[in-house]
Structure 1
Amino acid sequence: MTRSVHSVASDKAPTFQVTHHRSVAIDGTNVFYREAGPTDGPVVLLLHGFPTSSHMFRNLIPALADRYHVLAPDYPGYGQSDMPDRAGFAYTFDHFADLVDGLLDRLGAERYVMYVMDYGAPVGWRIALKHPERVAGFIVQNGNAYDEGLKEFWDPIKAYWADGADASRQALTTLLTLETTIFQYTDGVADRTRISPDNWVHDQALLDRPGNNDIQLDLFYDYRTNLPLYPRLQAYFREFQPPMLIVWGKNDYIFPADGAYPYERDLPDVELHLLDTGHFALEDKADEMIPLIRNFLAQKVPGYEVA
């Protein structure tokens, strides 16, 4: 007699969340973004760091898209967005924030939780200061908002801020090499087998495009404009008390844990988790971070609760 054998689980296939890859012109610049989840759901905006793109969120997006409308743009000069000639395009954090804000307006996103990481922090902070009423909360992964967070790694960049000299600028090109890109993904990581080499292959190919070095050096110099915003930003935290989850790779040399603790001064209810990893924490700690993020959104952010 032939017997049919199957598991109970096979009777119901898991729901697969589709990510769409789109591009739209904002102020004449094509901005690429990933989009997933119900378009009428609460919005989660994912803002990437250097030297990557929305690619860094490829695993997180489907893990949130069953409940939330997830948006992850690429800044100009990164990922699949346009890379205009710097002679006629300002590569600044102010400009990036304006373009992301324009994208949100175009998509009708009037309220959102922002996930900010590395360069995503100064982009997100500017949007928050412009539209504090629109921000439902923050998820912060190795994103700085305090002077304490800029340690030894930043010394050569600070030297460039101080003198603006070409020699100081050119000294920073070592930060754009494959060796440094691999370092960003692997330093402070206990198990390198959790890190896909596709990350640095993808990022370095985009960094190595003709003209991109100068774009990155322009942004290193413009990063100095973030520090004067910190007092305004901290006052914003104190006044509005936005819900905040911090999931921080504590072994990060670029943004060390020294920059995570000061948030507690201004946000007594902040939820802080220091993870045993480095800069790109999502690459090897997504299994720890995703439950924390989902619980935070469902339990701590008004309007994001699970029905």
Structure 2
Amino acid sequence: MLQMPSDIRNLESLFSLRVERHVTPTSSGSTVISYTKDLGEGPVLWLVHGYPQSAYIWRHIIPQLQDKISLFVPELPGYGLSTLKGTAGVAAVGAALLEASHALFPNRDIILAGHDRGARICHRLSVSNAHPPKDDTANLHSYKLLGTVLLDIVPTLVQWQSFARPLASVSYFHWPFLASPVAADMIEAFGAAKWTHLGLDRICGDNAEGRKAMQSDDAWEVYESLLSKREAIEGSCADYASGCFVEPPLQEADQSEGRKIQSPALVMWSLSRLGKMHGDVGSIWKDWVQDTSLLTAQGVGDDVGHYLPEEASTVIGSAIKDFVEKVTK
């Protein structure tokens, strides 16, 4: 059995993988901890985790990819390891990740891949790469983006619009709850480890092997410990508050002004979870890419749930590998 460090600062020791750990300060004041594998040249593939997890979610994916492409696997600022300073949310955190990536892999092409909130960061960065923000004075978004992989999300605006349906409101109740000003104190009073455990268990799928793979290597204990830190509770709640108050109007403006993904995109989702709630997720994303020929969409069956990189690691790893080969030809 793997032994979990008491402070979980050296997660790469749990990976048992050939990755290097970096601590990169950024101009925002946030510090980005990341794990990398540098092949010395060629593009860099990001692997960005979401809530309520850490980079540890990629432990089954990294071995499938690390000899094929350079990897940048960050810990999200505000989620227990990387520190968050200032504004939370996909744009600000995405900019911090870009700074760290550019520092570690200067002048390299990028392929973005993310799950859950990490996928929302990748979506934001993909749009901003095609349509750089006016305040991008450091030219952070001026890099060659080869493609984007989005795992188990619909656009943030679409998700909020689905709350008009009672079933969606109940299934995704944590969205408005985490965005509320009382959430951090309530989670701490309830028990942050217990809250995290219940969330993992509730959204995980019914596939026995997938659930076993997700729980392997003390993963749930890792996530529960990280999200029990007060700064992680506050940081993740601030992230969801941005997802409520900042990101939907920004996406409304993007859609009305034609700012869409302009590079190849791979979208994958759980048929038994996200697909059950939204139907054909691939069709939803057609309205968010400049040209539908750029979009590859694939639902994942076998009763796997939301945590695709762990529950369906072979399927996800193979699909990402094929996508990387496609966009780097």
1:248 is the counterpart of 2:269: yes
Matched residue, 1:193: 212
Find the aligned partners of 1:147 and 1:290 in 2 and give their Cα distance.
28
Partner of 2:83: 82
The alpha-carbon deviation at position 159 of structure 1 amounts to 7.0
The aligned residue for residue 313 of structure 2 is 286
Give the distance between the partners of 2:274 and 2:191, measured in 1 at CA.
13
* Higher relative contact order (CA closer than 8 Å, sequence separation 6+): 2
Q: Alpha carbons of 1:44 and 1:109: their partners in 2 closer, same or farther (altered >3 Å)?
A: farther
Find the counterpart in structure 2 of residue 129 from structure 1. Answer: 127
- Following superposition of structure 1 onto structure 2, how do residues 159-170 of structure 1 map, counting pairs within 5 Å? 166=182
1:132-151 pair list within 5 angstroms? 132=130, 134-145=144-155, 147-150=157-160, 151=168
Q: What is the SS of the residue equivalent to 2:40?
A: coil
Structure 2 vs 1, CA of residues 146 and 215 (structure 1 numbering), >3 Å: closer, same or farther?
closer
- Structure 1 residue 271 corresponds to structure 2 residue 310: no
Do 1:41 and 1:68's aligned partners in 2 also have CA atoms closer than 8 Å?
Answer: yes
- 1:274 Cα offset (Å): 0.7
Separation (CA, whole Å) in 2 of partners of 1:69 and 1:49: 21
Q: 1:175 to 1:245 in 2, by over 3 A?
A: farther
Q: Does 1:25 align with 2:50?
A: no
Return the offset for 1:51: 1.3
Shift in Å, 1:294:
1.3
Pairwise CA RMSD:
3.1
Asked if the contact 2:282/2:298 (under 8 Å) is kept, the reply is no
Unpaired runs of 5+ residues, structure 1, are: 1-15
* Partner of residue 236 from structure 1, selected from 244, 252, 259: 259
Contact 1:181 1:200 in 2 (8 A): no
Is residue 262 of structure 1 aligned with residue 278 of structure 2? no
- The CA deviation string for residues 114-137 of structure 1, in whole angstroms up to 9 with x for no partner, is 002111133223323332263211
CA contact under 8 A between 1:49 and 1:119: conserved in structure 2?
yes
Secondary structure at the counterpart of residue 47 of structure 1: coil
C-alpha deviation, 1:188, in angstroms? 4.2
Of 173, 192, 210 in structure 1, the residue corresponding to residue 230 of structure 2 is 210
Cα gap change, 1:124 to 1:156, in 2 (>3 Å)? closer
- Mapped to 2, the partners of 1:48 and 1:67 lie a distance apart of 20
From the superposition, tell whether residues 233 and 72 of structure 1 become closer, same or farther in structure 2 (CA, over 3 Å).
Answer: farther
Name the TM-score, length of structure 1 as normaliser: 0.78
TM-score by length of 2: 0.73
Deviations 1:196-236 (A, max 9, x none): 25221001101111343222222221111221232455533
Gaps of 5+ in 2: 1-15, 131-142, 161-167
Quick one: which amino acid aligns to residue 140 of structure 1?
L
Indicate the percent of aligned positions where both proteins have the same amino acid: 16
Contact conserved, 1:55 with 1:79, CA < 8 A, in 2? no
Alignment map for 1:33-182 (pairs within 5 Å): 33-82=34-83, 89-107=86-104, 108-132=106-130, 134-145=144-155, 147-150=157-160, 151-152=168-169, 153-155=171-173, 157-158=175-176, 166=182, 176=192, 177-182=195-200
Shift of 1:111: 2.2
